Amino acid sequence: MPPEIEISRRVLLASSAATAAMASASTVEAQPEPQTPPSIMAVDLTVNGKRHGLRLDTRTTLLDALREHLKLTGTKKGCDHGQCGACTVLVNGARINSCLTLALQHQGDEVVTIEGLGAPDKLHPMQAAFIKHDGYQCGYCTPGQICSAVAVLREIKAGVPSHAQADITARPQATNMEMRERMSGNICRCGAYSNIAEAMAEVAGGLA
């Protein structure tokens, strides 16, 4: 067989293989990954006594709805995993970590943030006590600490038991250990725990 014919066959086979590979690659590139658009829902939230009509991605947390959509940035995003308590708000009077719950779950609920507890010219008793007893340092955890502290005293007054009680059938008292146990989900990196407990004790005494 003449050498020129053999070379032509090799060139032909190589060209065919290259063409097939390019066609295959083009086919793959022409099929993009399917993407499901996020669902958007109308959500009515009542926050600090005011009703807000929002359109939110169904995956939006209550924390992000408050901060990013309603611009209530007093509620802080700390760990975003429910471990630090910085995002604590009150829902129907009870405390929750707003980073762990979806906004759309709270239609019809009464949400209160640190902005709704009091104003600079009319502080909530707990806010005033935190200032008096220096219950904050950097201040980042303070909104969650205050919201949680308000809820803790409500829990004690309502007779809700805790792990600090030797007898859970007995009515809880606002002792230092009782309040520290209930506040253990709120972390302060500055270590102002003793001052926070003093502030809570003063308010608890006023509520007795």
pLDDT digits (tens, 9 = 90+) for 48-67: 999 999 999 999 999 999 99
Domain final position from 117, 137, 169: 117
**Is there a single domain that holds both residue 123 and residue 203?**
yes
Residue 5 forms part of a structural domain: no
Q: What is the Cα–Cα distance from 122 to 134, expressed in whole angstroms?
A: 18
Where in the sequence is the domain holding 182, given as residue range(s)? 118-208
Domain final position from 56, 88, 117: 117
**Is there a single domain that holds both residue 133 and residue 151?**
yes
Residue 21 forms part of a structural domain: no
Q: Find the radius of gyration of the CA atoms of the chain.
A: 29
Domain count, the chain: 2
Q: What is the CATH number of the domain that holds 180?
A: 1.10.150.120
Q: What is the Cα–Cα distance from 57 to 170, expressed in whole angstroms?
A: 45
pLDDT digits (tens, 9 = 90+) for 145-183: 999 999 999 999 999 999 888 898 999 999 999 999 999
Residue 25 forms part of a structural domain: no
Q: What is the pLDDT along the chain (208 residues), one digit of tens a residue?
A: 555 545 566 655 555 655 655 555 555 555 667 676 679 999 999 999 999 999 999 999 999 999 999 999 999 999 999 999 999 999 999 999 999 999 999 999 999 999 999 999 999 999 999 999 999 999 999 999 999 999 999 999 999 999 888 898 999 999 999 999 999 999 999 999 999 999 999 999 976 4
C-alpha triplet 80, 82, 88: angle, nearest 5°: 95
